[in-house]
Amino acid sequence: MTEGDVPAAPSAAPPLRIGILADDLIWATRLAGLVAHAGAVPVRLRTAALLTEALPGLDACVVDLTARAYDGAASLRAAHEAGVPTVAVGQHDEPAIRRAALDAGAAYVWVYRALADNGERMASRWISGLHAREERR
C-alpha cells in the first residue's frame, strides 16, 4: 500500500441463510417474506428430505408445525442435532404440539396470530440475535 491509499474495509458478513420448512404455500411465502424483511436469505423447503440436504448450508431454520408432508418435531430435532438454531410456527391452541416442538429444540414457538400482528418485529429480533451469535464465534 502506498501513501494515500485507503485500506479496504473488511467485507460485511454475508446474510444469514434461514431455512423455511413449510408445505403450505401461503405460510411458506409469509415466513420467507418475514425472513427477507429481517435481512436474511430465506431458503424454502417443503419436505424433511430437503431440510436434511440443506442443513449444512443453513444458519437457522423455521419449521411450520401444521404440515402434512413431514413431522415438525422430528424436523426440529434433526436441525437442532445438526447445530442449526430453530423456531417453530403453529397454532395457539395445541399445547402438546408446542411442548413437543420445544422439547425437540425449538428456541420459540411462534403462533400464527402473533406472526400476523407482529411477525416482522419477531423475526427481526430473532435474526438479530443470530447475527450476534455469529459475531461471537
Domain of residue 53, CATH code = 3.40.50.2300
Q: Is residue 114 part of a domain?
A: yes
Q: Is residue 11 part of a domain?
A: no
In whole angstroms, what is the distance from residue 58 CA to residue 28 CA?
Answer: 16
How distant is the alpha carbon of residue 37 from its chain centre? 13
How would residue 132 be classed by pLDDT, with cut points 50, 70 and 90? confident
Domain count, the chain: 1
In whole angstroms, what is the distance from residue 91 CA to residue 6 CA?
Answer: 54
Q: Which residues pair with 113 in a beta bridge?
A: none
Q: Is residue 132 part of a domain?
A: no
* pLDDT tens digits along 26-42: 999 999 999 999 999 99
Q: Is residue 135 part of a domain?
A: no
Query: Which residues, in sequence order, are CB contacts of 91 under 8 Å at separation 6+?
Result: 65, 66, 97, 111, 112
* pLDDT tens digits along 74-116: 999 999 999 999 999 999 888 999 999 999 999 999 999 999 9
In whole angstroms, what is the distance from residue 45 CA to residue 63 CA?
Answer: 9
State which residues form the domain around 29. 20-121
Q: Is residue 82 part of a domain?
A: yes
Q: Is residue 101 part of a domain?
A: yes
Stated pTM of the model: 0.87
Residue 96: its H or E element:
helix 95-103
Q: What is the largest CA-CA distance in the chain?
A: 66
Q: Is residue 8 part of a domain?
A: no
Q: Beta-carbon neighbour count of residue 137 at 10 Å?
A: 4
Q: Is residue 51 part of a domain?
A: yes
